[in-house]
Structure 1
Amino acid sequence: MTRPMDLELSATHDPDGQPPLPLDAAVGYARAVMDWDAQSIGPAVRSARDIAYGSHRLHRYNVFAPWGAERAPVLVFWHGGGWSNGYRQWVTFMNRAAVSLGFVLVAPSYRLAPADPLPAAVDDALAALEHIRDGIGTWGGDPDRVFLAGHSAGGQLAVLTALLAPDGVAACLPVSGIMDLRHPAPPPGSLEELVYTTVLAEPGLDAAMSPVCRARPGSVPFLLTHGERDTDRVIRSNRTLAAQLAGYQVEVDVVEEPGADHFQTHTALRSPAHPWYRRLAGLL
């Protein structure tokens, strides 16, 4: 199956206007999950694409639901890509596993830097959640049992959304989320420097956009996942966030996936037998 031209990936140029991915591993991940988008819709899945929740071309989400669902739990999963890359199609491969558990899976897009730097993506995540809760009954979903998750930058969006708009959120399960955007002296040319030069609307927003700086008391449980071979920043910031939430008496746990790197923590979710789904079901 041929992919639309605006979804073709290249290590050097993307016709949709997204900058090149910075790492070979990221390019390989992006190509794999985009290929899976065209292959993975199961016959038991009712689906719809490009549902608008706003006026921007990226204010869209895809839905994958069990046929005949009634008051089913909802899993909203935001894609990663360092807030400057990524597509909602990167989440499609999770549809069979989510639906087999009885979940309605929703995969939103959001505005990307540098055209729309943070906090644009956070504003979009909040707007998407409101729109999803208002309309998910059409797909047999329960607006009062919404689980938030995402990979990498999408994990950061999931956590901030759960902290800022907890009503109706049953739990938050970020995967390899980037929980701390702050860096005292980012090396020139590093990914950390790109946060300040490209991702943030202004450098002083680094704390406001960091979940580790927004932890607070609340009733939403958190299950944080990172890989054994994940980036140091991801591992440290997830452990820090967990300690902060626990200090506020929030139910929180951290799971380290053995042997997994930053991208494998997500691609491994192609298997419905992955323990992450059992942990998700256990939070129902």
Structure 2
Amino acid sequence: MKRRFLALPLLVAGLLITACNPAATLNRTTSLSGLNVTRNLHYGPDPRNVLDIYAPAQASQRPVVLFIHGGSWTSGDKNEYVFAGDSLARAGYVTAVMSYRLAPQHPYPDYIQDAAQALKWLQDNAAGYGGNGRDLYVVGHSAGAFNAAEVVDNARWLNEVGVPINTVHGVVGIAGPYDYDFRQYPSKNAFPVGSDPAEILPSRHLRPDAPPHLLLVAAGDTTVDPSNGEKMRAALQAAGVPVTYTVLPGLNHVTIVAALARNLTFLGGTRQAVLDFLAAQERR
């Protein structure tokens, strides 16, 4: 009987996350007390070129994390990921959660260039919020993981905005679609008509001096095939880039990012895996 009652909170949490608006559910239970939160900072000229910063109290020269949301490049917003900013800031990171221009009005590479602009803004301005603009990390979920890998691994984008590639010290991809033929899926509208996946996919743009990567895959993901993670791992290894590849059991495409929230770590190991990876890079 006791075991049945212990399982009940897990069942209820799972139902809330999968059946309701997951962002609203998580953000309603996230307290920002004790953090310094600054909203709607413009890193570029478009109305969606905005980010929020979540910083530990009295932070000074702390590492900086840029979090990029998912949504098939056609939806999503920084305001849905308060829980991510809170979670990473509580662990000591000055965390920027960004919005970006959306397809189909803004197909690839617009949203990649937005990520580069956000990193440029953080390089130049993070010190005013307690961060070290030369100690950057990028974390993304789903389409955001694609963006995170592409903006860092393809030197073109950081070079375009004048961010030295050695200022980004790690990439975390959570359930990312790094290697798939988008021409066969509805997400093809996020890419130029007639474009060749081989010329766009992050797995094809790896520079050998890219920073270490953490690839997190949900064992039960039916939205982004886990083979994306396997192919990206193989590509990183072939390029000589350090990579940690972790399949998290019992999680799906939504719950793997939900488990980044401090109050939902019982769902799975996302938060601990991310924090362990970031801490390991800081010790390097």
Q: Same fold (TM over 0.5)?
A: yes
Using the alignment, how far apart are the partners of 2:104 and 2:70 within structure 1? 15
1:275 aligns with 2:272: yes
In structure 2, what residue type is equivalent to 1:81? Answer: G
Conservation of the 8 A alpha-carbon contact between 2:68 and 2:99: yes
**Any conservation in 2 of the 1:75–1:105 contact (CA below 8 Å)?**
yes
Structure 1: which amino acid aligns with 2:278?
L
- Of residues 93-102 and 109-118 in structure 1, the stretch that sits farther from structure 2 once superposed is 93-102
Give the aligned partner of residue 99 of structure 2: 109
CA offsets 1:137-196 (integer angstroms, 9 cap, x no match): 111101121110110000000001111333310100110011024257x2xxxxx1x232
Q: Deviations over 1:32-69 (max 9, x none)?
A: 21343355242221001110011111000000001111
User: In the aligned structure 2, how far is the partner of 1:34 from the partner of 1:241?
Assistant: 31
Over 6 Å off, 4+ runs? none
The runs of 5 or more residues in structure 1 that have no matched partner are: 1-24, 187-191
1:74–1:146 Cα contact (<8 Å) kept = yes
CA contact (8 A) 1:158 1:174 kept: yes
Measure, in 1, the Cα distance between the counterparts of 2:245 and 2:51: 28
User: What secondary structure is seen at the aligned counterpart in 1 of 2:195?
Assistant: helix
Distance 1:66 1:53 in 2: 21
Tell me the amino acid that sits aligned with residue 31 of structure 1: N
Contact persistence 1:220–1:251 (CA under 8 A): yes
Give 1:219-258 correspondences, 5 Å limit. Answer: 219-231=210-222, 233-258=224-249
Partner amino acid for 2:170?
A
Q: 3-state DSSP class of the match of 2:248?
A: strand
Deviation at 1:232, TM superposition (A): 7.5
2:178 corresponds in structure 1 to 179
- Counterparts of 1:30 and 1:215, CA distance in 2: 38
Superimposed CA distance per residue, residues 52-104 of structure 1 (whole angstroms, 9 cap, x where no aligned partner):
01111100000000111111011111000000010111221123321222101
Using structure 2 for the length normalisation, give the TM-score.
0.82
- Paired letter, 1:279: F
How many residue pairs align between the two structures?
Answer: 251
Asked if 1:195 corresponds to 2:187, the answer is yes
Structure 2 residue runs without a partner (length 5+): 1-14, 159-164, 266-270
- Output the CA distance in 2 between the equivalents of 1:261 and 1:80: 14
Deviations 1:232-282 (A, max 9, x none): 854112111111111122111111111111111100111275322233323
CA 1:81–1:280: 2 relative to 1, 3 Å: same
Partner of 1:128: 118
Residue 260 of structure 1 aligns to a residue whose secondary structure is coil
**Identity of counterpart residues, as a percentage?**
24
CA–CA distance in 2 between the matches of 1:174 and 1:241?
10
Alpha-carbon distance between aligned partners in 1 of 2:238 and 2:150, rounded to the nearest angstrom = 18
CA contact under 8 A between 2:223 and 2:253: conserved in structure 1? no
1-structure distance, mates of 2:194, 2:19: 29
Partner of 2:5: none
| Secondary structure, counterpart of 2:181 in structure 1 | coil
Determine the C-alpha separation between the residues in 1 that align with 2:113 and 2:196: 14
Q: 1:232 to 1:246 in 2, by over 3 A?
A: farther
What letter matches 1:275 in structure 2?
Answer: Q
Deviation at 1:133, TM superposition (A): 1.3
Which piece of structure 1 moves more, 231-240 or 120-129? 231-240
Q: Secondary structure in 2 aligned to 1:115?
A: coil
* Deviates further, 96-105 or 27-36: 27-36
Answer yes or no: is the 8 Å Cα contact 1:34–1:90 preserved in 2. yes
Distance 1:262 1:120, change over 3 A: same
SS at match of 1:122: helix
CA distance in 2, matches of 1:270, 1:108: 17
Return the structure number with greater helix share.
2
Counterpart Cα distance in 2 of 1:170 and 1:29: 37
Contact 1:212 1:237 in 2 (8 A): no
- Secondary structure of 2:115 counterpart: helix
Question: CA distance change for structure 1 residues 34 and 133 in 2, over 3 Å: closer, same or farther?
Answer: farther
The residue correspondences of 1:86-101 to structure 2 (distance < 5 A) are 86-101=76-91
- Whether contact under 8 Å (1:181, 1:209) holds in the other structure is no
One-letter code of the match for 2:254?
Answer: F
CA distance, structure 2, for counterparts of residue 83 and residue 183 of structure 1: 12
Tell me if structure 1 keeps the 8 A contact 2:26–2:261. Answer: no
**Counterpart secondary structure, 2:33:** coil
Alignment check: 8 A CA contact 1:178 1:237 kept: yes
What amino acid does structure 1 have at the position aligned with 2:279? A
